[in-house]
Amino acid sequence: MAQPDATHSSEETHGSFKSYTIGFLCSLVLTVIPIAIVLNGWLEGTANSVALIIAAVLQLAVQLLFFMHLREEKKPRYNLISLILGLVILLVIVAGSMWIMMYNMVAL
């Protein structure tokens, strides 16, 4: 006999098919736009970097809202902790990538 899942209560919601579809489509668009910008050479220099950073931040927001269900949590403290964790991870990845790229540009 199957036991009920103790980790999920009947009051929790995990998003609907519609919200997952919207999140997936937004993720696709926010992935294709930077690829198209870089491969086609539509932007140069700083404008290229700014467009890629904006797309990355929007991609983070889509992931937090649609797939990590940041807005659906009943306890706001967990929302804040999730947001801070996402921002720390973003900062570490971006700062580390920039540091590595700058070091390799000087070393060459």
The predicted-structure confidence for 14-73, as pLDDT tens digits, reads as follows 678 998 999 999 999 999 999 999 999 999 988 998 899 899 989 988 987 888 776 666
Query: Does one domain contain both 92 and 67?
Result: no
Query: Does one domain contain both 22 and 61?
Result: yes
Is 61 inside any structural domain?
Answer: yes
Query: Does one domain contain both 64 and 104?
Result: no
Domain range spanning residue 53? Answer: 16-72
Q: Which residues contact 42 (CB under 8 A, 6 or more apart)?
A: 36
User: Which tokens hold the place of 36?
Assistant: 């198209």
Query: Does one domain contain both 66 and 86?
Result: no
Determine the Cα–Cα distance for residues 14 and 4; give it in Å rounded to an integer.
17
Query: Does one domain contain both 62 and 92?
Result: no
Query: Does one domain contain both 20 and 32?
Result: yes
Query: Does one domain contain both 68 and 87?
Result: no
Residue type, 52: L
107: phi > 0 → left, psi -120 to 50 → alpha, else beta; which? alpha
Identify which has the larger pLDDT, 5 or 43.
43
Query: Does one domain contain both 24 and 68?
Result: yes
Query: Does one domain contain both 104 and 62?
Result: no
Determine the Cα–Cα distance for residues 10 and 6; give it in Å rounded to an integer.
10
Predicted confidence at residue 86, as pLDDT, reads 81
The total number of structural domains that make up the chain = 2
Is 7 inside any structural domain?
Answer: no
Predicted confidence at residue 10, as pLDDT, reads 47
Predicted confidence at residue 76, as pLDDT, reads 67
Identify which has the larger pLDDT, 42 or 101.
42
Query: Does one domain contain both 45 and 67?
Result: yes
Whether the predicted model's global pTM rises above the 0.85 cut: no
The answer on pLDDT for 11 being more than 70 is: no
